[in-house]
């Protein structure tokens, strides 16, 4: 096999990194869920708590192109399509502080998906159309992305903050 052919088959990301990247992407989704659910709760005071949770879940599933794990969220999303689409259109404003991280998470998801033979460009195109994707933002290295996600998740109380390693014993 020639060097060109060998280089062509080499994955962009080491297959050992993909599960860790996916975990970071899910953590970004959790951060978005937390922020969006609170925003929905504050704006839709006439709706019950399950509706707040289901709406936030339906919006995130749509944005990331994922199928809902919860049948109730899927049913809610289908029955309230216009509301979900309205929330998607307002997402760039509603969750503005997360736009840089959402941009990175959607890009990283596309890279991971590509490595696994999944076509997820539509999620990026939708994020661009919704004004969420910050196209001029450079793609971080996977380690930088994961550290940013970890730091923000700790700030939001989703995970324990990383502690500094103790100095080596002498």
Higher pLDDT, 144 or 170: 144
The domain in which residue 102 lies consists of 24-155
Distance between CA atoms of residues 106 and 22, nearest Å: 11
Residue 80 forms part of a structural domain: yes
Is there a contact between 12 and 114 (Cβ–Cβ < 8 Å)? yes
Q: Look at residue 78 and tell me if it is in a domain.
A: yes
Residue 46, in any domain of the structure: yes
Residue 146 lies in a domain: yes
Is 161 within the bounds of a domain? Answer: no
pTM: 0.84
d(CA 28, CA 30): 5
Instruction: Give whole-number Cα distances, 114 to 11, 64, 83, 100, in Å.
Output: 9, 14, 31, 21
15 domain residue, yes or no: no
Question: Using an 8 Å Cβ cutoff, are 60 and 36 in contact?
Answer: yes
| Count of domains forming the chain | 1
Q: Specify whether the CB–CB gap between 106 and 117 falls below 8 A.
A: no
Per-residue pLDDT reduced to its tens digit, 103-133? 999 999 999 999 889 999 999 999 999 999 9
pLDDT surpasses 90 at 9: no
Least confident of 61-75, 116-130, 155-169: 155-169
Within a domain: 99: yes
């Amino acid at each position: 096999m020639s060097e060109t052919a060998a280089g062509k088959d080499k994955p962009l990301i080491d297959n050992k990194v993909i599960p860790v990247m996916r975990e970071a992407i899910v953590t970004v989704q959790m951060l978005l869920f937390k922020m969006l659910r609170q925003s929905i709760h504050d704006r839709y005071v006439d709706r019950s708590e399950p509706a707040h949770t289901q709406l936030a879940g339906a919006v995130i599933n749509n944005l990331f192109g994922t199928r809902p794990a919860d049948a109730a969220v899927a049913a809610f999303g289908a029955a309230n399509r216009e509301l979900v689409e309205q929330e998607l259109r307002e997402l760039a404003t509603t969750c503005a502080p997360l736009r840089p991280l959402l941009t990175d998470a959607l890009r990283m998801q596309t890279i991971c998906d590509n490595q696994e033979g999944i076509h997820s460009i539509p999620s990026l195109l939708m994020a661009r159309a919704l004004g969420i994707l910050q196209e001029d933002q450079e793609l971080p290295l996977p380690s930088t992305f994961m550290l940013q996600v970890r730091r923000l998740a700790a700030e939001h109380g989703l995970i324990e903050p990383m502690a500094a390693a103790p100095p080596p014993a002498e």
